[in-house]
Structures are given as C-alpha cells and as structure tokens.
Structure 1
Amino acid sequence: MASFVTEVLASSGKLEKEDLSGKISKMSRKVEDTKEEVCEMMNKKYADFLPGLQGAEELMVRVDEVSKEMDVLKNYIENEVHQNLHVAVTEYAKLKQQLERNTIIIQILGHLKEFHNAMEESNKSIQDKNFVDAANQLERARASVIALKGWKTSQLPLLSALSTELTVQRENLIYHLGDEWKRLVIWRLPSSKVTVGCSSLEPAGPKSFLRVELNMSHASSRDGEPKPPALLCSVLQALAIQGDLQHKFKLFSQVLLKNMLKPLVMYPSLSVSVTEQQDEGIVLALHCLEESNKERSAPSQVYSKLLLVLKTLHAYLLGTVRLDVSIGDKKLSAILGELIWDEISQCIIHECLLYSIPSNSSQLEKYNTVIKETEEFEKSLKELEFLQGDSTDLLKYARDVNCHFASKKCKDVIVAARKLMTSKMHNTVKITPDYKLRLPKLPAPGTEVKVKQETTNEEMTIENSKQLSAWSLCLPACRISESVQQLMELALNTLFEAVGSSTYCALQLFYTVRNIFQLFYDVVPTYHKENLLKFPHLAAIQHNNCMYLAHHLLTLGHHFRTHLPEPHSEGIATFVDMVPGFKKLGELTFLQLAELLERLSTAHNFCNLDDEDNYIAASKAVRQVIHQLKQLGTVWQDVLPVSIYCKAMGSLLNTAITEVIAKIMMLEDISSEDGEHLHTLCQTIIEEGPLVFIPLAEKNKNKKYQEEVPLYVKKWSTFKELVIVLRANLQEIVDRWADGKGPLAMEFCSSEVKNLIRALFQNTDRRAVALSKIK
C-alpha cells in the first residue's frame, strides 16, 4: 500500500508510475549485492591477487555507478519531495480553517434559532400563565445571548436588538408575576390602600393598626386558570428563576414587620385573629382587646401572638409551595426568617424582655420561666425553618439575666439618686444622738467574722477592754436634708441587693453605690450653687449633709464586706477613702466670709471719725456686721450641731474683729474725739458680739456659750485690750504692759503698742518716758 506522502505526490502528478518506495527498495537490493561482491573481491584480493585484478576493476566501476544513482535519488528526495510535502500541509491548513469558520457560522445560526424559539415559547407561556416555563425559556434565551457575546469573531449588528428584546420580555414577565402576587397576597393597611410597600407615615398608637389585614386569597382565580396554591407555586418559582424573589420577599417582610409583627410586640392591647373563608382564603387581622393597664406585654403573650402569625404564613403562604422554590439552598421560610429575624428580635429585646427583667434579686428565680418560654419560641421557629443555627441574640439576652438585672438595677439606682440630689434641700429631718441607721438583716457570713443582725447604732465594742461611751461614734444633734437620708437608705438597699447575688451582679451594685456618693460630691455643689451662696441656711444644711454622709461612709463597707465576693470580702469593699473629700466639701460650702468682709470695707478705715458722715458710715458698717451675725445665728440655730455652730460663729466674729483691729492699727493719728468714737464702736461689738452665740432654741441655755466667747474667738482678748487702750492714759497703758508681762503684752508686741501711743498722744516728755518703758 502506498504511503501518505506517495499518495499526496501522486495526486499532484510529479511522481512517475514507479513509486519512490519501490525505487528505494530496489536500490537497497543493489547495495546488498554490491556489498557481497565487494566482500568476495576482498577475499580474492588477499587470497589470489593477480587473477582477480581485472574483476576488481570492474567491480569498482559498478560501485561508482551505484553511488551516483544514490546521490541522484537523495537530491530528488531533498528537492522535490520536501517541497511538495510543505505545499500539501499548507493547503490542508487552509481547508481546515475554512471548515472551522463554516462550523462557527452554523453554531451562531443555531443560537439565533434557539433564542427565537425560546422567546416565542416564553411569550406563549406567559399568556397561558405557565410562569415557570416562561422563566426557563427566558433563561434559555439569555444563555443564547451570552453565548453570542462570547465569540469575538461574531460582529452581529442584531446582537444589541436581541439584548433589548430579552430585557423587555423579562420585564413583561416580572410585571405579570407582580400582578399575580398582588392578587394572591393582599395587604390592607391603615391608609385603606392595597399595597406591598411600606406606609410613609408612622402610626401613632395601637388604634392606628386596627385595620391592618393580610389576605392570602383563594378566590381570585378565573375560569380555566390554575387554583391559587398551584398558581402561587408557579409565581414564586418563576420569581426565583428570574432572581427577583429576594426583592419581593424583602418588600413583603418590611410591611409584615412594620404593620403586624412590631405592633404586636409593642402594644399589649393588640391581638391577631386568623379567619379562614371558604373558597376565598385566609385573613390575618389585627384587633384591639379590652383596655389594659399594662404598658408592656409579657414575653409569653408576645411569643404566642408572633407564632400565630408565622405559623399561618408557613401553612398558607410558604407551605403551599410543594416544589423546591429556593434561592441557592435556602427555602422560602429561611429566606423570610433571615429578612425579619434581626429586626424583630431586637424589637422583642428592647420593647419586651428589657422590661421583664426583675427589679429585685428575689424575683430572679421566677425569670427562669421567661428563659424557657424564649427557648420554646426559638425551637418552634426552627421547626418552621424560620431560624437556622443554635444560638441567637434573643436567647442569649434572656439567659444573661444576671447581667441585665445588674445593669437595670444600677441604672434605676443612679436615676433615683440623681432625682434625690436635685430635689429641694430645705426639707429637713432632725438627727439626734440616739439616731440609729436602720441596717437590713443580713445572713450569717460563712467566716468567723460575726455581723450584727438587727438594727444597730454604729457602736463598737473593743474586746478585752473597757466599753466605749454610749455617745461614741454618734452624730451630734442637727438637721439634714430628707433627700440625703433617703439617699443613704437607697445605698443600703442597693448593697443589700448585692448580698447573695452573682459575683458580677454584686460587684456592679457595690460600685454603683460608690458612684452614688461620687455623683453627690460632683452634682449637688454645682446644681445648688446659687442657692448655697445666697442662702446661709442651705449652706448649713449642706454642711450637715456632707458630715452625715462622711460619718456613715466610715463604717458602711464594714457591714457588708464579708457578704461580698472576693477580693472585696478581703477588705477592698470600703468607702473610707471618700470621707476626707466629703468633710472638705462640707467645710468649703459652709464658710461664707466674703459678705462680712465686704460690709466692713465700707468703714473707710475708721479715719476722720470726727466728721459726722464718716462716723455714721463706720457705725453702720459695724452694726451691719452684728446684724448679719445675728441673722446667721437665727437660720443656723437648731440646724447645725452646737459645737459646729459655735465654731462657725466664732470664726466669723473673729474675722470681723480681726478686720477692725487691723484698720485701727493702721491709723497714724487718732484725736481724742476719734478715740471716743472708736471706743464706742468697739464697745458695741463687745456688748453685742456674744449675743450671736445662741445655738439652742431655749434662751436660758445660751448664757453658757455667750460666756465662752474667748474659746471660739481667738482675737477676742486682743480686741478687748485694744478697746481699753483707746480710753486709757499713758500710765494705765504702761501698767498694763508691766515690763512685757502684763495682759497688754500678751496680745500686742512692743512696736504695735508704741504705734498706738504715738497715734493717741501728742509728742511730749511724758509720751517719751512711756515709750521708753515699752520694751
């Protein structure tokens, strides 16, 4: 059989009848024959040289002839055969390329035919309401267009028109699907409009939702049309094929959330009813129950209402789809669940569960019922395939009741404390030495430390030593704001809530109590600033409030320390560090010296008192100081503790007379008339000053404090010596000096006494002698 090359060359007419293969075979035989003859010649050459010489020469001629024939054949193969082979390959490649081009054209024509048939079938299916087939046909047409766009060699002007036609047909299908959806699933919202969108106006209350209805109709099919369950299946499946089901369910979920699910959570008076109408469909409608005083629904009520809605949707809307309608591997119920769960769970948390958290630790055990109800609710949703996975934010929130209880309790406590701090301070209660801080009864601690179980008056007994006085660690008689007493009771009750609570809860409540007192320290001075500066009565009450809190903060942590979790039970639970701050706050709030000093400054340094106007001004300033002190005594009486009252009045009176002493000592020349006027003014202070010491309501009991003025007024003796000097002669002054050992020397230094003598007396020999004795 001739080879492929031979056939190609033969078809071109350039090879003789004897094929190349035959020639090569023939040449091979000649070579073999020649080889045998040469071998024979070589034997004869060495065996019989002379007789074979002639034969050898003939052989050589034959060899040369064969070699020439081989060279000719080689040249023929290299020139003719190789050239003809290249031409044949080139022609074959052109034929192959032409064949491929023809194949592509045939395939393009096939896709065009496929597109045309799919569009025709889709249009017919839409008219016959066979929406699934219509959607599949459009997908076939879409695949054809994509295939046509994939060939770079295809430059069809028709391609743009095909894409436009495909878009138009798809929109036509979507329109028909939407129209059927509206016939099968009908919303009736408060605006009395049938819509699948959200209402633009936010309803104001439960009555705004009374006309909300969801009608899943079965009566909308016409003669010859498929029944709604099958039709609904077809609509949903077609929407899924076209990729529009997610959008349609998103719109549906928004209306469902806003107009049905959320109102059922937020308003206890709203309920939902399910009405099944024969051959018409199912109606979900909201209606109002009897007026309820409840502001929030119980979790069990919310769960039952929501489950009724979702089970109805699953049974009559999602459950009617018998074919696998899904997006990816997600079923319709899972799709709807993903769309509504995050929002509805947050609504349940903030509008229901948040308000169901107990406000007292004793009610925490009852909350386990709510946790179980939440678990059952989520279990039912998982069975309906609305929920996927194990744990959700809703159940996690319900289970973290201890944390939420602590947060809610702390928030309520801070709100209540701030309300007390911003209330009026002038409503006071009397605190007596036998006042007892009512401590809650605490359980016996597990350690050896014993805590007193009944109401106690913070008395402490030192073991193996004498018993302290009955008045030890007792508050003196005074008045405090009623709100501060209530604030301390709030702190005690909060600490009592911490006893027996979880570790997290106990620590949160403990630090909340600390925050209460820190808030008092920061808020009260700022909030009541103007009143504290304007009304000394309130300043005194604020002083008592601060001292009252500081007094109880000393031992407050001790009472509850052993009942708190570690490390607080080891001694960290204390409020002692806050005591200095409260004491300082009380002192700064109480002392008001600026107004007194301002009134004394109107005395014009007590100079030129022989002038009637100057004397009247100075006398008025002194009397205003006395009057102000008496007014303070009146408002502070029965408010401040006696000791604090006397110290305060003594401090203020001391400030006043110190200012008077300083002004008199600054005078360089005091005439006899000025001296009389100064003596009169100072004598007024000496006579009326002690009368401001009236800490007790009973006048007869105040004489003791009026006689003890030098104990509270440091400059009182100095002031009395100055008054004596103003009317004394030189000898009396020298006698009271008594060589630096007399009462005058106890209050003034020698230079001050000399300056007084120079101001009061003219420069005479007697004055010089007196000055020489003041050493």
Structure 2
Amino acid sequence: MTVWTIPHAKEPVTLTNVSQVQLKLVQSENAAVTVNAMNQVGILKSKMHVFGKKLMEYILKPVVTLSNVAPSINAAKKSQSTTVGFKVLPKSSEEPSNPVAVYKSTLAILKALSGPLLSLKTEGKNGDENTTLMAMLGFIAETASPLLTYARDVNVHFANEKCQELIVEARKLMKRELHNTKRVGTMKVDNKNVKDQTQDAKDKCHVSEGIFALPECAVSESIGCLVNLAYQTLQEAGSNTPQCAIQLFYTVRNMFEIFCDVVPTYHRDSLQKLPRVCALHHNNCMYIAHHLLTLGHQCRQSLPPPLCDGTSMFVDLIPVFRKLASECFLAQMRIQRDQLVENLSGAEGFDQVATDDNFLACERAIKQVVHQLGHLQRVWTDILPSNIFTKAMSTLINTVLMHIVEKVSSLEDISADDAQQLYPLLSGLQDRIPHLIKPGEDEGPLAMVFSASDVKSLIRAIFQNTDRRATALAKIR
C-alpha cells in the first residue's frame, strides 16, 4: 500500500514545501494477491501510470532541480513500512545540483523502493558501479547494461541516425520529377584561343584546358541537389570523429549506388515513352560521373585514415554511371528508329507512286517521319550536349535515308511517271532534313577552327571584290 503526502495539487514543489512531500510504502501479506487481482481486472496499468507520474513529479524531480535537498529515508521493520521524504540542507552556494550528489540520492531512493524500476546508467566508473548495484538489487538483469553501452557508442548511434536521414533525403530527391532542369557545364571556348591551343597541343606535356570540362547541357534540378548533398556530407565527415567520418563517406557511396537502382526503376515509364526525360537521364548520369572524377580528391585531405590514404575515391563508379547513361539513351534511340521505320512502311516501298493512293501514302509517311524528327530536334536541342545531339539526329536521319534508298533501289521498274512523283517527295525530304541538325551561331565546324576575323581575311584573300563577297562579309559577325 502507498500513502502520499503532498502539497496542494496546483502548487509546484519548491524549497518551501518540499519537506511536506512524503511517500510511505507499507508491505502487506496480501500485496501480491491484490496486485494480481488488479491486473486481472485491467486497472493495474493505470494505477502504475499514476504512481510513476507522482514518483517522477514529487520524488525524483526535486532531487535534480533543488540543490539544497537530500532524501530522508526511514525504514521501520516493526510496521514493515518505508517512508521517503526530504530534508532541506543549509544553503551553501548558488551552484546547481552536484551530479554526483544527485546520482547518490537517486540510488538511495531506488534502493529504498526496491521495486521493478529501471535505472539510468552513466558513462565511466560510476556507471559500471551503478550497473552492478542495480543488478544486485534486482532492478535489471545481471548481464544487461543497455544504457551504458549506448553511452559508450553514442557517436556510432549519431552516425547511424545521420546516415539513415541522408539516405531517405537522397531517395526523395531521386523520386522527384526529372523535367525541371537547370543549365550546367562550360561555355564554348573563345575562338581566339583555338590557334594557340592547337600549337600547344603539339607539346607532349600540354594538357588541354577542357579535358575535365563538362559540355554545356541541361540536367534535372533534383540531381543537382543530390550532388550538392554528397559534397555537404563529405565536408561534414571531415569535421567529425574518424568512425563517424567513415560511415558518412560510405553513405555517400551508397547514395550513388542506390541511384543506379531507384531512378531507372521509379521513372521507367517516362524513360521509355518521353525522349526528353530520357535525354535528361543521360545527362544526369554523365553529370554525376563528371563529379565523381574529382569528388574524392577534393575531400581527401579532410578525411581520416584510411580514407585519406587513397581509398576515398569514387572513380570505380564512373563506368557504372556512363554505362547507365548510354544504355538508357541507346534504348530510346532504338525505339525512335523502330518508329521511323514503321512510319516509312506505310509508303509500301515507294512502288507505283504515280497512282494517287500510293502517292498520298508515301507523302503521308514522309510527313510522319519529318514530324517525328522535328519533334526530337525540338526536345533534344536544348537538353543534350551539341555533339551528342548532332550524332543522335544524324544516326536517325541516316536510318531514314538508308531505308528509303534501299526501297527505291530495289524497285524492278521505275516508270517516268513514278520518277516524276518520286522527285518532289524526296526533294522535300532533302530540303527539310538539313534544318534538323543545322548548328547554331558560332557552333558550326568552321567556327570551331577559325575566328570571325580569320574567316573574313580568308574570304578577302581568295575571292574577288564583288557584291556577293561584300554580302557574305556583312553576314559574318
């Protein structure tokens, strides 16, 4: 049986009324039967909750918060009762409670209660003594020391929690939509330096300025955030304990390894059906591979051994990401190729195009092909690097032309009327295709070698001074 003597319910426990607090435990022969009965009817849990709340509020909390208070324990064998109260000590200083004194007072109270309560354990020698004493009193098992183990491994627990949060954040970024983009990479090198670079390239010791440059392209904003998260994590690893730093480093590796599984699976439908998303995924993978080239070197000096000795490299992941980029984009290229060939199949081999029905079928097939190529040109031109865009479009256009040439050349007999109809069909295709891969301003093959002033000087040296030459010079900027 427990008897509480406490101040008014609304009054907090202070130095003025702490002496009024008293907990009296009276042992009874029928205590076990009573507790069992309360458990059977389902009220034991609520009773223990109320008891624990009062124990915390009126017994344990004053021990911690009031510095001039010490527990007063009186055990009466005759009445088989234990009384726990408080006595106010003379005020000696304004300092807060001494941790050692608080620890001893708490142990004294728990020893007096001798109930099935758990105890907090502290780190170090006092914690080990506490564990032994609690085991002797029956509060915990003799082999159990979970809190002490937790205190010793607190850095490990922090690192585990941090790593888990980073993986969750990385997965959220990977599952975002890919169509929100940003521009990355370096602009085209100034043409005035091309000649000097070409001359320097003859020197075996010369290294081009753009050898590690990422070509200008578009990537998903979420992937930019993912790469920034990797850099921030490695910077944080450099300022942590060695064990925590190692865990954070391998968490970054896990983030990139998870990318190879999550993104192709979660965005599978978009990657197959949307050429723009597929091109973005290609750029995303190449963008990550570009940063993996130097990511380990940039953070190497701040990492602990053995990471700083050369193991903090990510270069082994570069072929994985490049393969992921190429496989996805090549699969999309095959889809577009098959669609182009299917559209051309409606031309019925360009046979007997002199008839109205066959001419309309061929015209419709060519329009479908031009429309598809035009769509790819619009969605890829601002996404892919210029060299990749040119190669991709040229490959698809070459597929179309080879198919048409093969079908036309396989015709056994081409009448004059058929030839007259084939000419406008194929001429229209010839006129439209060059615009699909026409380079932009300062992006053509001539601009890659000569500057504008060099081209003007070359024209003046080769051609006579005519109106056509003047017009051509005026167009060059």
- TM bin, normalised by shorter chain, reads 0.5 to 0.7
Partner of residue 398, structure 1? 151
Structure 1 segment 2-401 matched on structure 2, within 5 A: 181=1, 233=26, 236-239=27-30, 244=33, 247=36, 254-255=45-46, 258=49, 273-274=57-58, 304=61, 339-341=116-118, 387=139, 392-401=145-154
Is the CA contact 2:293–2:315 (under 8 Å) kept in the aligned structure 1?
yes
Is the CA contact 1:475–1:548 (under 8 Å) kept in the aligned structure 2?
yes
Distance of 1:377 and 1:482 partners within structure 2 = 55
Partner of residue 412, structure 2? 668
Which of residues 226, 239, 256 is equivalent to 1:487? 226
Distance of 1:319 and 1:621 partners within structure 2 = 102
Q: Percent identity?
A: 35
Distance of 1:672 and 1:412 partners within structure 2 = 74
Distance of 2:278 and 2:299 partners within structure 1 = 32
Structure 1 residue 492, shift from structure 2 partner: 1.0
Match of 1:502, as an amino acid?
T
Partner of residue 254, structure 2? 515
Is the CA contact 1:432–1:477 (under 8 Å) kept in the aligned structure 2?
yes
Structure 1 residue 432, shift from structure 2 partner: 3.4
Partner of residue 319, structure 2? 580
Which of residues 165, 174, 177 is equivalent to 1:412? 165
Partner of residue 569, structure 1? 308
Structure 1 residue 531, shift from structure 2 partner: 2.2
Structure 1 residue 473, shift from structure 2 partner: 0.7
Partner of residue 477, structure 1? 216
Gaps of 5+ in 1: 1-180, 187-209, 212-227, 265-270, 275-283, 285-302, 350-369, 436-463, 707-775
Distance 1:338 1:398, change over 3 A: farther
Distance 1:321 1:549, change over 3 A: farther
Higher relative contact order (CA 8 A, sep 6+): 2
More helix by share: 1
Distance of 1:505 and 1:411 partners within structure 2 = 13
Match of 1:341, as an amino acid?
L
Partner of residue 80, structure 1? none
Gaps of 5+ in 2: 11-21, 83-107, 189-202, 448-477
Which of residues 593, 596, 599 is equivalent to 2:340? 596
Structure showing greater Rg:
1
Distance of 2:359 and 2:159 partners within structure 1 = 69
Q: TM-score, normalised by structure 1?
A: 0.42
Structure 1 residue 566, shift from structure 2 partner: 4.0
Q: Does 1:653 align with 2:397?
A: yes
SS at match of 1:588: helix
Structure 1 residue 514, shift from structure 2 partner: 1.0
Structure 1 residue 682, shift from structure 2 partner: 2.4
Distance of 2:235 and 2:23 partners within structure 1 = 62
Partner of residue 424, structure 1? 177
Structure 1 residue 689, shift from structure 2 partner: 0.9
Is the CA contact 1:532–1:539 (under 8 Å) kept in the aligned structure 2?
yes
Is the CA contact 1:638–1:695 (under 8 Å) kept in the aligned structure 2?
no
Distance 1:650 1:237, change over 3 A: same
Partner of residue 14, structure 2? none
Distance of 2:272 and 2:204 partners within structure 1 = 47
Is the CA contact 2:75–2:81 (under 8 Å) kept in the aligned structure 1?
no
Distance 1:595 1:616, change over 3 A: same
SS at match of 1:341: coil
Distance of 1:416 and 1:602 partners within structure 2 = 49
Match of 2:207, as an amino acid?
L
Q: Does 1:549 align with 2:288?
A: yes
Larger deviation, residues 411-420 vs 536-545: 536-545
For residues 36-90 of structure 1, the C-alpha deviation after alignment (integer angstroms, 9 at most, x for no partner) is xxxxxxxxxxxxxxxxxxxxxxxxxxxxxxxxxxxxxxxxxxxxxxxxxxxxxxx
Is the CA contact 1:336–1:386 (under 8 Å) kept in the aligned structure 2?
no
Q: TM-score, normalised by structure 2?
A: 0.66
Q: How many residues align?
A: 381
Distance of 1:306 and 1:657 partners within structure 2 = 90
Q: Does 1:536 align with 2:327?
A: no
Which of residues 207, 226, 237 is equivalent to 1:498? 237
Partner of residue 607, structure 1? 351
Is the CA contact 1:427–1:482 (under 8 Å) kept in the aligned structure 2?
yes
Match of 2:369, as an amino acid?
V
Structure 1 residue 582, shift from structure 2 partner: 1.3
Partner of residue 616, structure 1? 360
Distance of 2:43 and 2:113 partners within structure 1 = 9
TM-align CA RMSD: 4.6
Structure 1 segment 637-716 matched on structure 2, within 5 A: 637-694=381-438, 696=440, 698=441, 701=442
Larger deviation, residues 687-696 vs 490-499: 687-696
Distance 1:384 1:185, change over 3 A: farther
Structure 1 residue 623, shift from structure 2 partner: 1.7
Distance of 2:180 and 2:286 partners within structure 1 = 17
For residues 308-334 of structure 1, the C-alpha deviation after alignment (integer angstroms, 9 at most, x for no partner) is 9xxx9x979x967776789xxxx9956
